[in-house]
Amino acid sequence: MIKKVLLFLFAAVVSAGCKNNNIEIIGKLQGHTGGEYLYLDELRSTDLITVDSAIVSSDGSFTFARTVRYPSFYLLKTDETNFLMLLLEPGQELHISAYRDSLNFPQLISGSPGTRLMNDYNIRLQKTQISLQSLYDTYIQNLGTERLDTVMEELENRARICLDELNSYTRDYIDKNLNSLVSLVALYQQVAPGEYILSPEKDLEYFIKVDSAMMLLYPDYEPVKSLNEQVSGLKAAMIAQQTGLLSSEEGFEAPEIALPDTEGDTVRLSSTRGNIVLLDFWASWCTPCRKENPNLVRAYGLYHEKGFEIFQVSLDKTKEAWMKGIIEDGLEKWIHVSDIRYWQSVVVPLYNLEKIPSSFLLDREGKIIARDLRGDELLNTLEVVFSK
């Protein structure tokens, strides 16, 4: 669960000036009898690495101490469902008090402004989640009744108000905290798994705003560089749409994509220059995509040695489903990337995607040759391309 919520978020090198490089976490768990382990996970790229553990004493107290050079994101947890996200900077001493089974809603946080700000947002997010759950409960209670259509209309209106209010709160939160890495976290908050509060197409100004602020403060931080690449692509797509370039497509250079591969390493579409490339958008949940995959395997086998590459972008909801689809369909040989954001993926507005499967065949300079070639049509086109 933690990886799903925090996918795309944090780790790497940022600059922090000359400070005491020690951090300390001093806490107490209420309702705890001692003997249980607490774990401290550091967020590195797209993975969580357990870097320390501590046994909670009989009175519920615990401590962690580390030496760090840069602001760092951590998870303090008892298990995968009970955790608190921390933003700690060199020299900080975090004091925390929480109930044993509610780490994510502590009674006390002091000594770490970033952690406190993230907790403030978490409280507001929970308020919306509770309201939405109440609406869902009302829907369940009215299933099978004559009033269902009327109730559904009212519930949808109320849900939209809840989400609009959370969107406004998130925008205001970013405006007030543009000098902190918490603004980057806010861009990717979800009200439910796969349901993002801000979207690149509707809230582009805030992606641009955070990108500008973070590039000034933390230009070497990997998540900041990734955001910068995405924003650059979104700007290019917006210009292309305004000038009608994507409507003609052929001869237009495909917008840059820079997303994590299955190992968490960022791979760029431009890294395939020099090859004939099939840029393919798919997902493991998409039946037509899965039916087309054997054709891609065949095309790859016939033309890869001649300079054919496949750059496949997934709109999956989870990494587990994405990986399972790759293995089941035998797609391991070519390039796979995804931000695991379903239809909220940054590639959707970038390529005007309205459905999948969707694909673009690119020449050796990255320019679009054709779109949505399937089955024999793809093979016939590749035969012509490689016969020249």
Q: Which tens digit of pLDDT belongs to each residue from 195-219?
A: 889 988 788 899 999 999 999 988 8
Measured between alpha carbons, how far is 105 from 315 in angstroms, rounded to an integer?
32
What pLDDT score does 46 carry? 57
> What DSSP designation does 92 have?
-
pLDDT category of residue 296 using cuts at 50, 70 and 90:
very high
Measured between alpha carbons, how far is 250 from 371 in angstroms, rounded to an integer?
8
Peptide bond into 200 cis (omega under 30): no
Residue with the bigger pLDDT between 136 and 70: it is: 136
Average pLDDT over residues 78-89: 89
Q: Above 60 in pLDDT, residue 271? A: yes
Average pLDDT over residues 308-329: 94
Secondary structure tally for the chain: helices H, strands E = 11, 17
Percent of the chain at pLDDT > 90 equals: 51
- Which two three-digit tokens encode residue 348? 């959707």
What pLDDT score does 221 carry? 76
Q: Which CATH number fits domain 247-387: 3.40.50.720, 3.40.30.10, 3.40.50.2300, 3.60.10.10?
A: 3.40.30.10
Please list, in sequence order, all residues whose beta carbon lies within 8 angstroms of the beta carbon of residue 187, skipping any fewer than 6 positions away. 174, 198, 206, 207, 210, 227
3-state DSSP call for residue 276? strand
What pLDDT score does 249 carry? 54
Measured between alpha carbons, how far is 99 from 62 in angstroms, rounded to an integer?
13
pLDDT category of residue 194 using cuts at 50, 70 and 90:
confident
Please tell me the least confidently modeled range out of 11-25, 42-56, 57-71, 158-172: 11-25
pTM summary value: 0.62
pLDDT category of residue 4 using cuts at 50, 70 and 90:
very low
Please tell me the least confidently modeled range out of 119-128, 148-157, 231-240, 352-361: 231-240
pLDDT category of residue 251 using cuts at 50, 70 and 90:
low
Nearest CA to 200 out of 221, 222, 226 is that of 226
Please tell me the least confidently modeled range out of 65-74, 84-93, 233-242, 250-259: 233-242
What topology is assigned to 2-111 in CATH?
Immunoglobulin-like (2.60.40)
- When computed from its CA atoms, the radius of gyration of the chain, rounded to whole angstroms, is 24
Nearest CA to 24 out of 113, 112, 98 is that of 112
3-state DSSP call for residue 367? strand
Residue with the bigger pLDDT between 47 and 118: it is: 118
Q: Above 70 in pLDDT, residue 45? A: no
Sign for the CA dihedral angle at 185, 186, 192, 197 comes to negative
Nearest CA to 311 out of 276, 346, 348 is that of 276
Please list, in sequence order, all residues whose beta carbon lies within 8 angstroms of the beta carbon of residue 52, skipping any fewer than 6 positions away. 39, 40, 64, 66
Q: Above 90 in pLDDT, residue 333? A: yes
What pLDDT score does 3 carry? 45
> What DSSP designation does 258 have?
E
- Which two three-digit tokens encode residue 212? 């500008």
- Which two three-digit tokens encode residue 303? 């033309």
